[in-house]
Structure 1
C-alpha cells in the first residue's frame, strides 16, 4: 500500500474514532483544566527547587 494512502487511512480512522468520543461537560472540562494547571504549577515548583539546590551545591563544591 502506498505510504500516502496509509496516512490518509490513518487520518480517516482517527477522525471517525474522534467523532465517537463523548465530549466532556463544561464542569468536567473546567475541573480537568484546573487539575492540569495545578500539575504544571507543581512541576514548575519542583524544577525550581531542584535548580536552586543543585546551584547551591555546585557553588559549595566549586566555590
Structure 2
C-alpha cells in the first residue's frame, strides 16, 4: 500500500509564535516587491491583443444595443411601478388652496 502524500497547507501548519515569519525571512523587500509587480504588469500587458477596427465597431454596436434594451426595460418597470404606487395610494388627490 502506498502512503498518502501530506503537504503543508494553511490548515496543517503549526500555529503559534514559532510559526510566524520574521521580517528578515530572506524574501524580497518593499522595493523588490514593487519591481516584481511592475515586471508582472509589463508581462501581462504584452499578452493584450488589440481588436481590429471591425471587431471594435462590432463590440461598440453590441454594447449600444444592450444599453438601449436595458433603458427600455428600466423605463417600462419605472412607469409600471409608478402607476402601481399611484393606484395603491390614490394619485387623484388634488390640493386646494
TM-score of the superposition, structure 1-length normalised? 0.76
Gaps of 5+ in 1: none
Q: Are residues 1:39 and 2:70 paired?
A: no
Aligned length: 63
* Structure 1 residues 52 and 16: CA distance shift in structure 2, 3 A: same
Which protein has the larger Cα radius of gyration, Structure 1 or Structure 2?
2
RMSD: 2.4
TM-score of the superposition, structure 2-length normalised? 0.52
* 1:11-30 map, 5 Å: 12-30=39-57
* Structure 1 residues 2 and 47: CA distance shift in structure 2, 3 A: farther
Runs of 4+ that moved beyond 2 A? 1-16
1 or 2 for the larger relative contact order (CA 8 Å, sep ≥6)?
2
Higher relative helix content = 1
